[in-house]
Amino acid sequence: MADYNVIVIGAGPAGYVAAIRCAQLGLKTACIDKWINSEGKSSLGGTCLNVGCIPSKALLDSSHHYYFMQKHAATHGISCKELEIDVAAMQARKANVVKKLTQGIGALFKKNKVTSIEGTARLVGNQQVEVTAADGSKQTLTTDNIIIATGSVPTQIPVAPTDDQLIVDSTGALAFDSVPQRLGVIGAGAIGLELGSVWSRLGSQVTILEALPDFLATADRKIATFAQRELKKQGLDIHLGASVTGTTVANNEVTVSYKDNKGEQQLVVDKLIVAVGRKPNTEGLGDIQINERGFIEVDEFRQTAVPGIYAVGDVIGGPMLAHKGSEEGVMVAERLAGQKSEMSYDTVPWVIYTWPEVAWVGKTEADLKAAGVAYKVGQFPFAASGRAQAHGDTTGMVRILADAETDRLLGVHIFGISASELISEAVVAMEFEGSAEDLARTIHAHPTLAEAVHEAALGVDGRMIHA
């Protein structure tokens, strides 16, 4: 008999969720993870909890409080004469949030009887995994099934090699111990915009260089245009069509060379963040089939070419988002326990945690035009929302796209306060194949920001009340 029914490799949001679900369903499960944090201690939760979703949101929230006190508090009748930033305290709070949550995964493993193993895993056969502990000792475990959830690491580009001092990746940018005066960011994706926002709110002069000609190329065009304008107002200097060609470090500053439609340009900064995406992490994993982009190849149920070996999360590509990986983990676990679970990517929500936030689910107008689908649009501005007015944050809008014939919801796009929370209503409605009429007939509490979603749904049929 094998040591385990399932061995999960990696304890990020894809792996730890898969492991817990396997154990809940009665499978004898171990989860192996190699993460060592900046204190030299092993830490569960992967990129997401240690150096991704959670610490970035902790700093976004702290920096937003500061920005609010500086720019908006006075309009609420609140004044503060001596506002100061204590970066060390801000970082300590972030570390504490991370510590609580990563330790929480350990507690969840215990409660659900998942065996947690510290070390680096390597496939040594279809049903064997070798684990090398931090002290170099090795053990080989046997298992009926393997779920690979080894995640991703920041992409490095030869034109801007990170040195962990002046040129850093997202992990380095989450750990600055002071506010850089001039900050460059390569890449205007979610990570570049979020980290750029953190340090801009705290006082950095931020320049973002993005190679693509369009801002947030995969988002709704109207939302992207509004978001770009708003971020510019906040001080983010975003250069589109700007491809970085080289960097030099001298005298404690970085000179970034880039090419745009005006020709060769240069930018001098005190710190440079490289945020050009993430690549799958399969290093040292052993014999596993990967595609030309380095992702592990899987079928619709996330099984690799080898029966009994599955892969989930960032390491298989698709939307490289924590919640995508978690759902894949749940599906694989349930199928291993004999259930017929399925999952599609059609209703995976996307969120960018700028202020305000950008969130969407489903198709954009560009997607629908390209597919020749006739659609109707309902659009409601937050400026017409009582709750947004009361809050003092009226930027942005909700846009709903519905099938012109059937009224089925095809896409929902939000730029505005709490968009990350508001999008869930749209996800649920779309998961149930709902229509704009379904949202329009749903009673929304007053006054709430969610009323803006309700109004946009009414707007699909030209019957908004408040705009």
| Residues with active-site annotation | 446
Alpha carbons 357 and 411: distance in angstroms, whole number:
17
- Which residue number, 54 or 267, has a Cβ lying nearer to ligand FAD? 54
238 binds, among ligand AMP, ligand FAD, none (CB under 5 to 8 A by kind): none
Q: What is the DSSP letter of 297?
A: P
Report angle CA 438, 416, 180 to the nearest 5 degrees.
150
Among 70, 103, 243, 341, binds ligand AMP (CB under 6 A): 243
- Which residue number, 278 or 454, has a Cβ lying nearer to ligand FAD? 278
243 binds, among ligand FAD, ligand AMP, none (CB under 5 to 8 A by kind): ligand AMP
**Would you say how long the chain is, in residues?**
467
Strand (E) or helix (H) holding 193: helix 190-201
Q: Is 294 one of the binding residues for ligand AMP (CB under 6 A)?
A: no
Other C-beta atoms closer than 10 Å to the C-beta of 420 total: 18
Residue 263 gets the label, from left (phi > 0), alpha (psi -120 to 50) or beta, of left
Considering only the stretches 103-111, 159-167, 319-327, 440-448, report the one whose residues sit in contact with ligand FAD under the rule CB under 6 A: 319-327
Nearest distance, CB of residue 238 and ligand AMP, angstroms: 11
- Which residue number, 96 or 245, has a Cβ lying nearer to ligand AMP? 245
Q: Is 48 one of the binding residues for ligand FAD (CB under 6 A)?
A: yes
Q: Is 172 one of the binding residues for ligand FAD (CB under 6 A)?
A: no
- Tokens representing 235? 């001080």
Alpha carbons 23 and 141: distance in angstroms, whole number:
17
Nearest distance, CB of residue 460 and ligand FAD, angstroms: 28
Alpha carbons 87 and 202: distance in angstroms, whole number:
9
Q: Is 175 one of the binding residues for ligand AMP (CB under 6 A)?
A: no
Residue 237, strand partner residues: 207
420 binds, among ligand FAD, ligand AMP, none (CB under 5 to 8 A by kind): none
Q: Is 10 one of the binding residues for ligand FAD (CB under 6 A)?
A: yes
The CA dihedral of 324, 150, 330, 337, to the nearest 10 degrees, is: 150
Where do the H-state alpha helices sit in 84-160?
Answer: 87-112
- Which residue number, 85 or 153, has a Cβ lying nearer to ligand FAD? 153
- Tokens representing 356? 């305000």
Three-class DSSP category at 198: helix
Other C-beta atoms closer than 10 Å to the C-beta of 358 total: 28
Three-class DSSP category at 23: helix
Which residues between 202 and 221 bind ligand AMP (CB under 6 A)? 209-212
Nearest distance, CB of residue 69 and ligand AMP, angstroms: 30
Considering only the stretches 27-35, 95-103, 203-211, 233-241, report the one whose residues sit in contact with ligand FAD under the rule CB under 6 A: 27-35
Alpha carbons 429 and 73: distance in angstroms, whole number:
36
Which residues between 261 and 280 bind ligand AMP (CB under 6 A)? 276-277
Q: Is 191 one of the binding residues for ligand FAD (CB under 6 A)?
A: yes
48 binds, among ligand FAD, ligand AMP, none (CB under 5 to 8 A by kind): ligand FAD
* Residues near 324 by beta carbon (within 8 Å), at least 6 away in sequence: 313, 318, 345, 348
What residue has token string 């949550």? 101
Among 5, 13, 127, 317, binds ligand FAD (CB under 6 A): 13
- Tokens representing 138? 């090795």
Which residues between 178 and 197 bind ligand AMP (CB under 6 A)? 186-191
Tell me the per-residue interface mask from 141 to 160 with ligand AMP, x by CB under 6 A, - otherwise: ----------------x-x-
Query: Would you tell me which residues interact with ligand AMP (CB under 6 A)?
Result: 157, 159, 186-191, 209-212, 243-244, 276-277
